[in-house]
Amino acid sequence: MKTRGAGEIARSAVEALLITAENSKAVNTREFVDEVEAAAKIMMRTRPTAVSLPNGIRYVVHRVREGNLSGQTLETLRETSTKACHEFIENSRTAIEKIGEIGARRILDGDTLMTHCDSSAALKVIETAWKKGKKLKVYVTETRPRFQGKITANRLGQMGIPAILIIDSAVRHFMNEVDRVVVGADAVSANGAVVNKIGTSLMALAAREARTHFFVAAESYKFSPETMFGELVKIEERDASEVISPSELRYPSISVANPSFDVTPPEYVDLIITEKGIIPPQAAILLLRELLGVMTPEELEEFQTYELQEEENT
């Protein structure tokens, strides 16, 4: 939890590959590829729900493998690896800026907004709308149990945007005052379902009941290709101590469930704001097909079996 937010998690994982490549002691290309893949496998196991992480890792590893197969020298392969890392990191940051510009167009002057957790993409939409002169007020949930909403409230405060910090269970109480909900995403599945911080689905349900627009801001690398092939996005279960200290659990019959994310059905989402434009959730499958369309049949087969090979090797 020292690194938070799906985008930052992906960039940090790719930065780990960059450090691996720059400090490699490999004496030939095979050793170099092995070092990069070993680091990639470690990163792949760290955060199971953040789809952006494996997508970032694959972006780099795919280019390293291609370079090796094409006969690149060790030094050229190192350059290929570092270039791919820098490209992904830069593209992910550029995506946030584009999402802010596109999403701000859907925010109206005088809107009251609501947001959840600490999403760079959602915050950029709100920030960009504010900088365009639109007067706003934002309800921010605490986002228990780690209280990431306090980070968002402070960031809004630094910009001068009026923010009201509320407890998670007060969402429905205030929803009738809200014009638009803007949240981020840790993953978007092929059917348009959104995986985000626990509590998002309840917020979406309250918004649907109140006829409040529900917007999701998500970079394209958060869309999960595995879900096209029948895989489910894994929901990370975090330590019980985040909810309650062990000393307070006095009876062995008490257990704690602490899922970090939940799934919001596509029918509760009005639109998804990506750096490629605004899409309805039902169009997620089309965006995924576009992203995977550049792959050859061989590359697609390799992509589908990458996770399986990783599990078998461990």
DSSP string, 226-247: GGGGTPPPPPPBPPGGGTS-GG
Closest C-alpha among 78, 62, 103 to residue 25: 78
Radius of gyration of the chain (CA): 21
Q: Any alpha helices (H) in the chain, and if so which ranges?
A: 6-22, 29-44, 52-69, 74-104, 120-131, 149-159, 171-175, 200-209, 284-292, 297-313
First to last CA, the chain: 24
Q: Partners of 273 in the beta sheet?
A: 217, 278
Give, as one character, the DSSP assignment of residue 270.
S
Give the Cα separation of 184 and 202 in Å (integer).
15
Residue 217: what are its φ and ψ, rounded to 5°? -105, 120
Give the Cα separation of 179 and 210 in Å (integer).
10
Query: Any catalytic annotation for residue 186?
Result: yes
- Residue pair 1/61 in contact by the 8 Å Cβ criterion: no
Largest CA distance in the chain: 64
Taking CA 267 as the corner, what is the angle to CA 264 and CA 271, rounded to the nearest 5 degrees? 85
**Neighbour-count burial of 158, counting CB atoms closer than 10 A to its CB (0-12 exposed, 13-18 middle, 19+ buried):** exposed
Give the Cα separation of 121 and 100 in Å (integer).
7
Give the Cα separation of 209 and 259 in Å (integer).
25
Q: Which of 186, 239, 262, 270 is catalytic?
A: 186
Q: Which of 85, 111, 117, 118 is catalytic?
A: 117
242-250, Cβ contacts within 8 angstroms, sequence gap of 24 or more? 242/145, 242/146, 243/145
Tokens of 264: 């919001």
Query: Any catalytic annotation for residue 117?
Result: yes
Residues with active-site annotation: 117, 186
